Structure 1
Amino acid sequence: MEPFTMNYLAEYQTFESKNELNDAIDIHIERNNFALNETERSIFLMLSRYAVKFPGVAHLKSDTIAKAIGKTSRTIRRAIAKLIELGMIERLEFMRSVAGGNGANIYRIVHPSTSTRTLPENTTTAAAEATKKATEPITLKNNKPSNTTDTAKSFLSTESDVIKRGLLAKIPTYIAETLGIFFDASAIHRLYGVMLRAKASINRLLTFESDEYEYNKSLMSVLSAWKRGKVRSLDAVIYEATKRTARRLWLIDRGRATFNL
């Protein structure tokens, strides 16, 4: 299908730019690192590559994906269903306007902030391990572990998971999920405090819950830049980004109030 005939995909875009799409892809991969097998990961990355021209949306047949990945169409359909279940993509059936009947499916990369995926409780340890791997150097495993040491480490890990889960339960859902991917309880407590102070500097009556999507979008943008090594002081940048978002939302609300007078 020629590119110029695919302009209709513009109405299905989920992202404003390629950079925003790339940030979302990184977060989806990080968030679901332990849930994806090789086939599912390959399909998601393939859809992501085809979703660049119109950020977030691709139009592909299962057979096309199957040939590219080297798997059967049945395997592709099963993997697609898994990606949908994880809240990474959504599938829209496309009806041919001339010939009729079902054509290739339209696949959209779901914005991480609007994903409806509900994380089961047993993913907490996996998420913590993903964070640990992202922030700590790789070390060789000792083939002769000490039972005492292993027991202590296991206890500390379980205790930290409980503390982290309790802390995240007190934070707005999307922001909690984003912070929970990358940080331990101590860092989450510190960074969320930074966000609260930044918001309060504009207006203490503002709440994250009323515009959580906007605040979380700003947070993800900062974390994406941080992961690429472009942020030196994470706390300072999160503070400024949250403050800018709060100011913009406050001005919008104030403008609405004035208009309604």
Structure 2
Amino acid sequence: MYTKEASKMASFRSVDGLNGAIRTHIYRNKSDLTPAAIEVLKVLSRHAVKTPGVAYLKLATIAELIGRHRVTVIRAIKRLINLGIIRKEIKYRPVTGGNGANMYVILPAADVTPSVLPRQEAEKPTEAKPEAPERKDEAVISQSKLKFLQNTYAAFKSAVNTFVSDRKLTSKLYGIYLAHTSYLKGVYTADTLQEIGLEAVRQTFIATKRKAIRNLAGYYNGVLDRMLDRLFDARFEDLQA
């Protein structure tokens, strides 16, 4: 929805630059950052890879993703703003009015400034030119994406059917997987994301043997979120090496 506007706000040239800045922010402010603030920052960074540094999220979505109350998220965001780690851009619905989802801009850390220069000037002269060649390949990309999604869904169906035959549940779990990973494509390989999604399915059903789980979809959401957090943390470790 706000793709063009988000691209103008992008504060990083690459995802590696974004990750490097987040690592620096956490290291410098570790004594001032609460666990909730770190969780919120991780969620924002995971959703800020399409346009490096810019995340477009509702408060309710952030709260659901980290499993915390909306008020806790608001406090965490305020802390991140006060520490100079992020900037919030409030968006309003043009027709109905009222607040929409906010844009959160992750700010560069001082020592990574050379690699995170704004993109506005570089993009303006070439904005109109790439349109024709991009549209030419659109059908091919769509077919490729469709085939991948079909294969991934088939893998999910197979994984769920190992434990229970439930098409509705399969669709729910697959929808949760897509929601969590849609912003991570291009950062991690499709195979890596699919492997984590399927492993989260297995762990969810294995857990039902140890305890009663009323909401399998909700439990899967939590398992997948934690696994993606570990993957994200591992990326930080790789950057430090």
TM-score (norm 1): 0.43
Larger relative CO (CA 8 A, sep 6+): 1 or 2?
2
